[in-house]
Amino acid sequence: MKGKNLVHFLGIALGGAVAASGLVLFLIPNKIAAGGVSGLATVIYHLVGLPAGMTMLALNIPLFLLGAKEMGMVFILKTFYGALVYSAAIDLLSLVLKPITADPLLASIYGGLLVGAGLAIVIRSGGSTGGTDLAARLLHRYTSLSIGQSLMLIDTFVIVIAGIVFNLELALYGLLSLFVTTKILDGIQEGFGYAKAALIISEHSEAIAQRIFKELDRGVTGLSGRGLYTGNYKETLLCVVHRNEITKLKALVASVDPAAFVVLTDVREVLGEGFKDNQIQ
């Protein structure tokens, strides 16, 4: 278990460094604020000259304090590690790396690619860099907005600020970079859908369901099923999760029953608790 945790922490560090290189080489020097805390830090850097990494960490601290009670200390400490590594990597790499291009189109595409790949590595390692993700979770807790809607609202707010401080054209490049980041993140996470539906067949369905309730805060539906080869009846669990919860769900199921049969499929739209509002407009 210790060796596995070490691999996870190294993976978070590697992912943070890859994402930081995208900001240092492409986005920050070209004034491209692709949403989130990193985008806000980019705006502040060009306004007053504060190091982007240090600014990101400072912006995250209030979120950590608010989230400690809501999310639990274990989650917050792991997220703080990811945010610390990410922020430190940005300021350290900025001392040794020089911008590769001054073309905003190339910068937005390749910067978004590196940031998306880095964040995907962090998530697959069971970590988080805080920032927008943590802010969206808190906004979801205190409002009727889903996590997806909260993320979109925060990113849009930051891009609008960038448009006011810089210009509309750079704001559009920021939007393009955010799109690339999202697509790369989705691709590495093995899914381009808004969410994922999981069908889980196991002898320990009740234990798995209880873990999903407590650790993912997701609903689970039990479906009666019969294996036609064996003739045995088993309970099949149906659970829908956000794409950034896939890694944790798979690890959770494996820890309860390594022999569990799990099927993951794309879900293009989800209406209901924890996802989109199902009211008819």
pLDDT of residue 281: 35
Which of 188, 223, 251 is the last residue before a domain boundary? 188
Residues 204 and 225 in one domain: yes
Strongest mean pLDDT among 143-147, 167-171, 242-246: 167-171
pLDDT of residue 68: 72
- Please tell me the pTM assigned to this model: 0.69
Residues 260 and 158 in one domain: no
- Distance between CA atoms of residues 50 and 41, nearest Å: 8
Domain extent at residue 84: 2-188
In a domain, 281, yes or no: no
Residues 172 and 143 in one domain: yes
Which of 145, 162, 188 is the last residue before a domain boundary? 188
Residues 184 and 93 in one domain: yes
Residues 234 and 165 in one domain: no
Task: Calculate mean pLDDT across residues 39-47.
Answer: 94
Inter-CA distances, 232 with 51, 206, 228, 237, 257, Å: 62, 17, 8, 16, 18
Residues 65 and 84 in one domain: yes
pLDDT of residue 276: 57
pLDDT of residue 80: 86
In a domain, 276, yes or no: no
Residues 184 and 200 in one domain: no
pLDDT at 121 over 80: yes
Reported as a single tens digit per residue, the pLDDT across 150-192 is 777 888 889 999 999 999 999 999 999 988 988 887 777 654 4
pLDDT of residue 237: 94
- Distance between CA atoms of residues 152 and 71, nearest Å: 21
Which of 146, 169, 188 is the last residue before a domain boundary? 188
In a domain, 272, yes or no: no
Q: Which residue has the higher pLDDT, 129 or 100?
A: 100
Task: Calculate mean pLDDT across residues 44-69.
Answer: 88
Q: Which residue has the higher pLDDT, 186 or 39?
A: 39
Instruction: Write the DSSP string, 225-276.
Output: EE-TTT--EEEEEEEEEEGGGHHHHHHHHHHH-TT-EEEEEEES--BSTTSB
Which three-class secondary structure state does DSSP give residue 198?
strand
In a domain, 274, yes or no: no
Residues 27 and 62 in one domain: yes
pLDDT of residue 234: 83
Task: Calculate mean pLDDT across residues 106-134.
Answer: 87
- Distance between CA atoms of residues 47 and 251, nearest Å: 43
pLDDT at 139 over 50: yes
Provide the number of structural domains found in the chain: 2
In a domain, 239, yes or no: yes
pLDDT band at 257 (very low <50, low <70, confident <90, very high): very high
In residues, how long is the chain?
281
pLDDT band at 278 (very low <50, low <70, confident <90, very high): very low
Amino acid letter, 73: M
